[in-house]
Structure 1
């Protein structure tokens, strides 16, 4: 298979994964109209762990052997905070805007990596950060009518970026399945706590939607992994932004929502900033002598 064919296959997998994630976000928004956020997060983690069960049985108890339990806890904390805030945002702002703000995660990661992992930060990365910030400012509405839920969505991107950087640090010694397993276990434990005061028994239709969230999210993760196995992120990473038009279309289809003009301009700036990030090689900072 030629390099160009690999890139085409990789791009197709990435696009398919982003469509799956957009479907998941759509189902979350639909079910959030009748089910508390806390219950949706809990069942998302529960069904995620159920789907992982065959892999965990095959791996055996060795999958839990780790010397980085504190980092797994940290990753789970950031990840759960990102999940709660993103699900809340999905319930309160248009789907397209939610996906746009979510697209800022790749722009935030280099700055956290620079601060925490001592990775170098270049002028193109700084330029991308400025463009991304302007894009977010436009989406949040510079007229002063900023929706609180939009700020929550931005907070979810920061939490998700922190989780991804923690995963990068963990990946130096931990296999992917172990990282996912600990997140599933800790995530389920954390999300079970709020159920004590928010429990609401789902209906049959709600259960189907909750299963759908688990399936679409898992399928999206598998497709995304396959996409990056076929081609490098610098070649196909830009296709992760297809979640924006998918989310916008689904938002229009189910809720008759369309992106405002300022959100469109903001989205263009965020996607341009993401392209700059993907084309910029980040290397570890050299120690001072």
Structure 2
């Protein structure tokens, strides 16, 4: 170990030493494993945001919720903009930022509407069609190679979603809105992967917030209802949770391959099911449980495969 490494590990009994060891352990993980962990964190934060949207959506229109989520999300990222200065906002792809903003706004509107119209677990389950769209888009536009194991695991995960949905029982029109939202979110994920090569995380979140807040203002005004203090607090928290989830998701798709990390978003089904049971008294039936087990099984298999592959890779130097 050279002098620099000795300095890094000096004081291992203090907080600095623990942080150094944690960072080294984190960097030792394969890129796809790190990406998966960021996606899992994004899923937990996003599920909490969905809970608030469903609670507030009993009285406030989803178009107005989209505006508040974007506006307060923009406020949440401003400290990072101020700290990073103009350099953090430099961009080489302003047109792609605009396209991402438009697609993101439309997708967000679709998903928020489905959250207010469908049971939380059902609305969440429908978003799991995103990896199917994403695999095709990633192959076409990102040039990623997808082996048969990943195709198979993702297909099995989607089978679990179908078990939960049970289309033969009748489909609410809001289901198609949710599917449209899932497709648009997949498109945004592909754009994030391409943008991450030249754009900073702060710039991607900032410009997205500016564009979506601006474009969503008029629809919000058309259905405006003054929120109560409790609703206003929930809307503020929605914005902050959304920004945090978005930040985690961007990191996930930056460090890992899109087709490798996307299936870990399936964990949101478990979080949504728990929230639905505790907060909304929604009790999943046996088919929902079977579908969840299928989804979890496919996700764990992918995690196992990525962990084995990671042992044969050289640890990266950035985190």
What is the CA deviation profile of residues 233-277 of structure 1, one whole-angstrom value per residue up to 9, with x for unaligned ones? Answer: 999987654432221121112221122333333333333444455
Q: Does 1:60 align with 2:60?
A: no
Distance across 1 between alignment mates of 2:291 and 2:237: 31
Equivalent position SS for 2:197: coil
Alignment of 1:35-114 (within 5 A): 35-114=60-139
Number of the residue aligned with 1:122: 147
Number of the residue aligned with 1:191: 216
Number of the residue aligned with 2:5: none
Q: Choose 240-249 or 30-39, whichever is displaced more.
A: 240-249
TM-score normalised per structure 2: 0.74
Equivalent position SS for 1:193: helix
Checking the alignment, whether the CA contact within 8 Å between 1:106 and 1:274 is kept in structure 2 is: no
Q: Say if 1:108 and 1:39 are closer, same or farther in 2 by CA, change over 3 A.
A: same
What is the CA deviation profile of residues 40-82 of structure 1, one whole-angstrom value per residue up to 9, with x for unaligned ones? Answer: 0000000011111122223333444323112111211222122
Alignment of 1:207-226 (within 5 A): 207-221=232-246
- 1:139 pairs, out of 150, 164, 178, with 164
Q: Say if 1:125 and 1:143 are closer, same or farther in 2 by CA, change over 3 A.
A: same
Number of the residue aligned with 2:194: 169
Alignment of 1:1-20 (within 5 A): 1=21, 6=26, 18-20=43-45
**C-alpha RMSD over aligned residues:** 3.5
What is the CA deviation profile of residues 79-129 of structure 1, one whole-angstrom value per residue up to 9, with x for unaligned ones? Answer: 212211111111122212223333443443222111222222322233234
Checking the alignment, whether the CA contact within 8 Å between 2:77 and 2:243 is kept in structure 1 is: no
Checking the alignment, whether the CA contact within 8 Å between 2:150 and 2:260 is kept in structure 1 is: no
Q: Does 1:270 align with 2:295?
A: yes
Distance across 2 between alignment mates of 1:63 and 1:209: 29
TM-score normalised per structure 1: 0.81
1:38 deviation in Å?
Answer: 0.7
What is the CA deviation profile of residues 191-225 of structure 1, one whole-angstrom value per residue up to 9, with x for unaligned ones? Answer: 11212421222222211110121233344456677
Distance across 1 between alignment mates of 2:259 and 2:166: 31
Checking the alignment, whether the CA contact within 8 Å between 1:39 and 1:199 is kept in structure 2 is: yes
Q: Say if 1:231 and 1:155 are closer, same or farther in 2 by CA, change over 3 A.
A: closer
Q: Say if 1:95 and 1:52 are closer, same or farther in 2 by CA, change over 3 A.
A: same
What is the CA deviation profile of residues 112-151 of structure 1, one whole-angstrom value per residue up to 9, with x for unaligned ones? Answer: 1112222223222332343244333323323241222233
Number of the residue aligned with 2:268: 243
Distance across 2 between alignment mates of 1:5 and 1:174: 27
Q: Choose 180-189 or 250-259, whichever is displaced more.
A: 250-259
Checking the alignment, whether the CA contact within 8 Å between 2:193 and 2:258 is kept in structure 1 is: no
Higher Cα Rg: structure 1 or 2? 2
Unpaired runs of 5+ in structure 2?
1-20, 310-319
Unpaired runs of 5+ in structure 1?
282-289
